[in-house]
């Protein structure tokens, strides 16, 4: 069956997968969603013995129905290769009574690699399918991880330029250096004086700026996105939940068909939405546990049905989740509203103008698959200590938020029998000051780069290539701008005013 894509906000016309991937965001500012969520064609039993690439193919083909088998396998095989430092791509690690799904074995040691390794191939294949010979400008905002993963994926790809905006004071030093030292003749990195929401709002505004789009068109260029607002980012994430489940079956930790719980630390709601899609495709997931840090806007929404960004923005030790506007929640709203795009459009307008919205009782009923919890900074550090002291397994701050949320779920529900997978979204090496500081106060005063070797010694995990000697690499990107000047910076980089 052919799956087509429509905007959450109702602009007319359906798009093929390749058209939606190229566009990134719909013309009306909405996000592309499948006209109906597909079901898995093959039975789960036949997936148990599959490797990661085979699982990914069988999941993604249900969404990308205008790709031939040859095209899709080319994208998958090109993405999930030796750039990942573990043969399983996304292995499971059993520790502290749970299963950590290690999504950080790619080139930037964060889960964004799982989708951003394949997006360049999906995009270039889509352009060929649509007979388009325009230059594509990837414009993206990052809370720390997407930016480097996108730079890594799109570096030196013919016909593509990439511009990444990040909050200058809202990422770790290692995240910042990963971006600022990045090599690539087609890559541009800009820090902004503001937070991630400012960067994301600025990018969306540029996407929807008709004047900029006209200038791009005159140069035979167009925008696309590497954020999870692009359906080409979201769909590949669905695959690793299937693979994780099959790993549990293969390792005889569960029986096929046995339900599991899945915990996802999330800020922009994309990673947990991928798990929600997996559940609706037929994966036996019981509860989706949405884990927030102190920017607990998603926690409050799931508990009350009220989404309210009118609150203090908190800088935490889990910066990739320091978000008050969760873009991908719009895709869930579309499902909860039974595909009524007018309802979604009104919510998004109210959020922009008034800073909040409240869903009705029938939509609230649709949140029953989700359980929300959040972790304070102290609870986050306590989780790191607990897991390490129990099993000598070191987790990063974002994963720790997930573990803490699971402990809350377990305490409140007394559900101690259902096996649980926690999405481990980043290597502890990315946030070593916070992680090591959680283990011992003395490390808080130690230089972040000196801690890399100390972390390796205590964790018995070799230093990943992504951060080895990172402080010795030359800084190639120095731009910093006010959030109000993002459009001007884009125009300058692309030479649109010449």
The alpha carbon of 271 is separated from its chain's Cα centroid by a whole number of angstroms, namely 5
The residues with which 110 forms a beta bridge, in sequence order, are: 426
Counted residue by residue, the chain has a size of 498
The residue among 45, 36, 65, 101 whose CA lies nearest residue 395 is 101
Q: Check if the beta carbon of residue 13 is closer than 8 Å to that of residue 224.
A: no
The question of whether 112 is a catalytic residue gets the answer yes
3-state secondary structure of 114: helix
In whole angstroms, what is the distance from residue 418 CA to residue 368 CA? 17
How many angstroms separate the CA atoms of 487 and 489, rounded? 5
Interhelix angle for 486-494 vs 210-218, to 10°? 0
Cβ atoms of 146 and 171 closer than 8 Å: no
Identify which of 207, 265, 253, 205 has the alpha carbon closest to the alpha carbon of residue 99. Answer: 253
Instruction: Catalogue the E-assigned strands of 314-366.
Output: 356-358
* Set 15, 112, 204, 279: catalytic member: 112
Helix/strand/coil percent split, the chain, to 5: 45, 15, 40
User: Which single residue is written with the structure tokens 């990107």?
Assistant: 477
CA distances from 453 to 321, 456, 467 (A): 26, 5, 11
Helix, coil or strand: residue 424: strand
Q: Catalytic positions, please?
A: 112
């Amino acid at each position: 069956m052919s799956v087509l894509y429509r905007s959450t906000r109702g602009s007319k016309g359906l798009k093929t997968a390749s058209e939606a991937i190229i566009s990134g965001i719909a013309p009306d500012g909405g996000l592309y969603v499948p006209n109906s969520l597909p079901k898995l064609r093959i039975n789960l039993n036949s997936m148990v013995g599959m490797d990661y690439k085979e699982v990914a193919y069988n999941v993604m083909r249900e969404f990308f129905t205008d790709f031939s088998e040859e095209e899709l396998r080319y994208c998958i095989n090109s993405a999930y290769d030796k750039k990942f430092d573990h043969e399983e791509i996304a292995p499971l690690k059993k520790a502290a009574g749970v299963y950590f799904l290690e999504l950080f074995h790619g080139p930037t040691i964060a889960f964004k690699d799982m989708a951003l390794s394949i997006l360049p191939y999906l995009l270039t294949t889509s352009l060929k399918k649509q007979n388009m010979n325009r230059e594509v400008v990837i414009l993206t905002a990052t809370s720390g991880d997407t930016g480097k993963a996108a730079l890594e994926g799109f570096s030196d790809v013919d016909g593509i330029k990439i511009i990444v905006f990040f909050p200058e004071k809202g990422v770790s030093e290692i995240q910042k250096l990963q971006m600022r030292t990045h090599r690539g003749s087609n890559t541009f990195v800009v820090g902004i004086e503001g937070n991630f929401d400012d960067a994301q709002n600025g990018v969306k505004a540029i996407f929807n700026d008709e004047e900029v789009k006209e200038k791009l068109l005159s140069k035979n260029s167009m925008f696309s996105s590497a954020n999870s607002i692009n359906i080409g980012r979201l769909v590949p994430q669905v695959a690793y939940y299937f693979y994780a489940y099959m790993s549990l079956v293969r390792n005889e930790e569960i029986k096929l068909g046995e339900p599991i719980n899945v915990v996802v630390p999330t800020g922009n709601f994309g990673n947990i939405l991928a798990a929600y899609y997996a559940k609706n495709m037929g994966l036996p997931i019981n509860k989706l546990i949405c884990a927030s840090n102190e920017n607990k806007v998603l926690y409050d929404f799931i508990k009350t049905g009220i989404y309210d960004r009118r609150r203090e923005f908190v800088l935490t030790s889990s910066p990739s989740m320091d978000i008050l506007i969760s873009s991908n929640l719009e895709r869930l709203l579309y499902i909860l509203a039974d595909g009524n795009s007018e309802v979604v459009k009104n919510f998004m307008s109210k959020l922009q103008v008034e800073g909040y919205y409240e869903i009705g009782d029938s939509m609230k009923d649709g949140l029953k698959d989700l359980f929300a919890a959040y972790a304070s900074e102290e609870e986050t550090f306590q989780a790191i200590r607990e897991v390490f002291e129990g099993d000598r397994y070191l987790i990063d701050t974002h994963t720790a938020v997930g573990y803490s949320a699971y402990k809350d779920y377990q305490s409140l529900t007394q559900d101690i029998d259902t096996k649980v997978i926690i999405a481990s979204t980043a290597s502890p090496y990315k946030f070593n000051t916070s992680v090591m500081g959680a283990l011992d106060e003395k490390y808080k005063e130690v230089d972040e780069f000196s801690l890399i070797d100390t972390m390796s010694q205590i964790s018995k995990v070799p230093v990943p290539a992504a951060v080895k000697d990172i402080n010795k690499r030359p800084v190639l990107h120095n731009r910093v701008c006010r959030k109000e000047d993002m459009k001007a910076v884009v125009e300058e980089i692309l030479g649109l005013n010449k």
